[in-house]
């Protein structure tokens, strides 16, 4: 299915051709015709499926068709995204798609000056991309009104809820007096998300590109069992020996990220950081260097890297397994995009074997284990045997995150469990 057959204006089709888009991706095939007819949409789509174009192209076209101009300090279409990086990226994509039109597109998110953003909002904008917290501030200061909104999109709605934006979202919704067309996109589903969709969507069309919580089938998953304290060495060894270029490395803690970057530097591998302690401008710069190939590795935490679109990313490495199995899906969504081959590597210490089992259950796939000679974990076999022995297995089924651990791992298992429970509580 081609873009010109979807009734898009020639200037939009021209921009898409320049982006190298020829055919619609599956999510676009489903979402675009429904959105063009004005339906509300509730879509479960993985990252990397082309969902940004799926929601933004119908909005762009409908804004063009109406021929209206935005009033000063108002937005006609609002796209909410969980992180500043994702908001900036969506705005960049939309500017590309609309570059031959005279639509006015702006992005507002934390980390940049309110006053600069205020000036952008003064004349009114056709499309406003925003993080919920910063938008709420601009509404409060009357820099922009969403009263007459025509379109409202939630991108990565699941993550917005995880990040505790539910109140900001509900406050923004209270400001809307019109009945905008609403589209909600999410990589995973949850009861809280379903509730929000029931509250705000009108007879939504349900779209599922692949089963929820799945990863793209263009991704090859591999696990390297390794002791925690040898992970950095293994990372450096694999990158060097296998000559991997453009490697996105996920860690659970900022401190780990800082250490890895230092260690890789000692081995002559240029790496950049993307985590919450870095200023917005530094994160953008790091991402640009990584995208341009000036840095071979980017080490990131989950929140900072959420939704980043890095084209043709060949390797994603879980240096730490994520605390929640669902986050594996989000991390891996950075590779194997738009039909390209991707490589998802996970370093799994003995303490992380259980998370690996949960990930395998979630993605309904057993992941291949590869032992790197010289890095075999100490007494891992004994640990796994014990874990899979009958009593432990019984316990695991009954209490998903609370296995009977061998005594030596009790403390770390308990720390991990406490962390998982805290994260789960925040999700509720």
- Name the residue nearer to ligand AMP (CB basis): 337 or 396: 337
In this chain, which stretch among 44-52, 61-69, 318-326, 419-427 interacts with ligand AMP, using CB under 6 A?
44-52
Of residues 89-108, which lie at the interface with ligand AMP (CB under 6 A)? none
Q: Does 290 bind ligand AMP (CB under 6 A)?
A: no
Nearest distance in Å: CB 21, ligand AMP: 4
Q: Does 338 bind ligand AMP (CB under 6 A)?
A: yes
Nearest distance in Å: CB 55, ligand AMP: 9
Q: Does 335 bind ligand AMP (CB under 6 A)?
A: no
Q: Does 58 bind ligand AMP (CB under 6 A)?
A: no
Nearest distance in Å: CB 19, ligand AMP: 6
Nearest distance in Å: CB 328, ligand AMP: 18
Closest CA to 8 of 79, 100, 91: 100
The count of chain residues that interact with ligand AMP, using the rule CB under 6 A, is 15
Please pick, from the candidates 35, 41, 48, 131, the single residue that binds ligand AMP as defined by CB under 6 A: 48
State residue 404 phi and psi, 5-degree precision.
Answer: -80, 115
Q: Does 47 bind ligand AMP (CB under 6 A)?
A: yes
Nearest distance in Å: CB 4, ligand AMP: 13
In this chain, which stretch among 22-30, 163-171, 322-330, 361-369 interacts with ligand AMP, using CB under 6 A?
22-30
Q: Does 52 bind ligand AMP (CB under 6 A)?
A: yes
Q: Does 306 bind ligand AMP (CB under 6 A)?
A: no
Q: Does 49 bind ligand AMP (CB under 6 A)?
A: yes
In this chain, which stretch among 23-31, 197-205, 251-259, 280-288 interacts with ligand AMP, using CB under 6 A?
23-31
Nearest distance in Å: CB 242, ligand AMP: 25
Nearest distance in Å: CB 5, ligand AMP: 13
In this chain, which stretch among 24-32, 143-151, 345-353, 373-381 interacts with ligand AMP, using CB under 6 A?
24-32
- Name the residue nearer to ligand AMP (CB basis): 284 or 291: 291
Nearest distance in Å: CB 344, ligand AMP: 16
In angstroms, the CA 372 to CA 374 distance is: 6
Q: Which residues bind ligand AMP (CB under 6 A)?
A: 21, 24-25, 28, 47-53, 309, 311, 337-338
């Amino acid at each position: 299915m081609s873009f010109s057959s979807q009734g898009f204006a020639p200037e939009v089709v021209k921009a898409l051709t320049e982006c190298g888009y020829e055919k619609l991706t599956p999510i676009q095939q489903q979402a675009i015709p429904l959105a063009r007819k004005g339906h509300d949409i509730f879509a479960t789509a993985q990252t990397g499926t082309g969902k940004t174009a799926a929601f933004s192209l119908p909005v762009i076209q409908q804004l063009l068709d109406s021929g209206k101009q935005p009033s000063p300090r108002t937005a006609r279409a609002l796209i909410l995204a969980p992180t500043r990086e994702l908001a900036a990226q969506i705005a960049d994509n939309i500017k590309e798609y609309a570059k031959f039109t005279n639509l006015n597109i702006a992005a507002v998110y934390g980390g940049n000056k309110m006053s600069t953003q205020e000036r952008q909002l003064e004349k009114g904008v056709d499309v406003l991309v925003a993080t919920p917290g910063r938008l709420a501030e601009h509404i409060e200061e009357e820099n922009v009104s969403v009263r007459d909104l025509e379109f409202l999109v939630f991108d990565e709605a699941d993550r917005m809820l995880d990040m505790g934006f539910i109140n900001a979202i509900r406050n923004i919704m209270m400001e809307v007096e019109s009945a905008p067309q609403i589209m909600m996109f999410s990589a995973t589903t949850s009861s809280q998300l379903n509730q929000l969709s029931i509250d705000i969507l009108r007879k939504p069309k349900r779209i599922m590109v692949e089963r929820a919580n799945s990863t793209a089938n263009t991704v090859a998953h591999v696990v390297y069992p390794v002791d925690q304290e040898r992970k950095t060495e293994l990372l450096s060894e694999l990158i060097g020996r296998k000559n991997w270029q453009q490697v996105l490395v996920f860690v659970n803690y900022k401190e780990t990220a800082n250490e890895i970057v230092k260690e890789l530097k000692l081995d002559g591998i240029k790496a950049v950081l993307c985590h919450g302690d870095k200023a917005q401008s530094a994160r953008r710069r790091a991402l640009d260097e990584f995208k341009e190939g000036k840095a071979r590795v980017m080490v990131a935490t989950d929140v900072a890297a959420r939704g980043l679109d890095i084209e043709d990313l060949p390797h994603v490495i879980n240096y730490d397994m994520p605390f929640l199995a669902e986050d594996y899906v989000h991390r891996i969504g950075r590779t194997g995009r738009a039909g390209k081959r991707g490589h998802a590597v996970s370093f799994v210490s003995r303490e992380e074997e259980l998370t690996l089992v949960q990930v395998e259950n979630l993605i309904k796939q057993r992941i291949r284990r590869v032992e790197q000679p010289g890095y075999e974990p100490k007494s891992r076999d004994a640990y796994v045997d014990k874990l899979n022995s009958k009593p432990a297995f019984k316990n695991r089924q009954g209490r998903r995150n609370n296995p009977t651990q061998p005594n030596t791992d009790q403390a770390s298992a308990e720390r991990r469990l406490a962390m998982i429970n805290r994260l789960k509580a925040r999700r509720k």
